[in-house]
Amino acid sequence: MAKAYHGNNKAASIRPKSPAEILIEAKTLPEDINFIFKIIEAHSHTAFPVKLQPAEGRIGFHTNPDQKDELLNILKNLPRPVKILNNF
């Protein structure tokens, strides 16, 4: 029987290579990460969420400059605490 794949967290280590891409880093409670990811995934084409350091509650969102303000507005209005770590 094959071993279960648990991932290697490679997507979290990818950093934007062009000005057409932004990584917004945030911090939340570890138990709220899945909830926040489901909300962001429901807003299709807004961002691609990644877990940077999930045990500490650090998450990231790959997005483009056109979607940045919409994503920040969604994060600001979530019913869970989210602190944006980037300076915009």
pLDDT at 10: 60
Domain segments of the chain as ranges: 19-84
Q: What is the pTM of this model?
A: 0.79
Neighbours of 53 (CB within 10 A): 14
pLDDT at 19: 73
Tell me which residue of 17, 39, 30, 18 sits closest to 59, measured CA to CA: 30
Tell me which residue of 15, 9, 83, 87 sits closest to 52, measured CA to CA: 9
Domain 19-84: assigned CATH number? 3.30.70
Q: Is the four-CA dihedral 65, 86, 17, 50 of positive or negative sign?
A: negative
The tens place of each residue's pLDDT in the chain, 88 residues long, gives 545 545 555 655 666 667 788 999 999 999 999 999 999 999 988 999 999 999 999 999 999 999 999 999 999 999 999 999 998 6
CA dist., res. 30 & res. 45, Å (int): 24
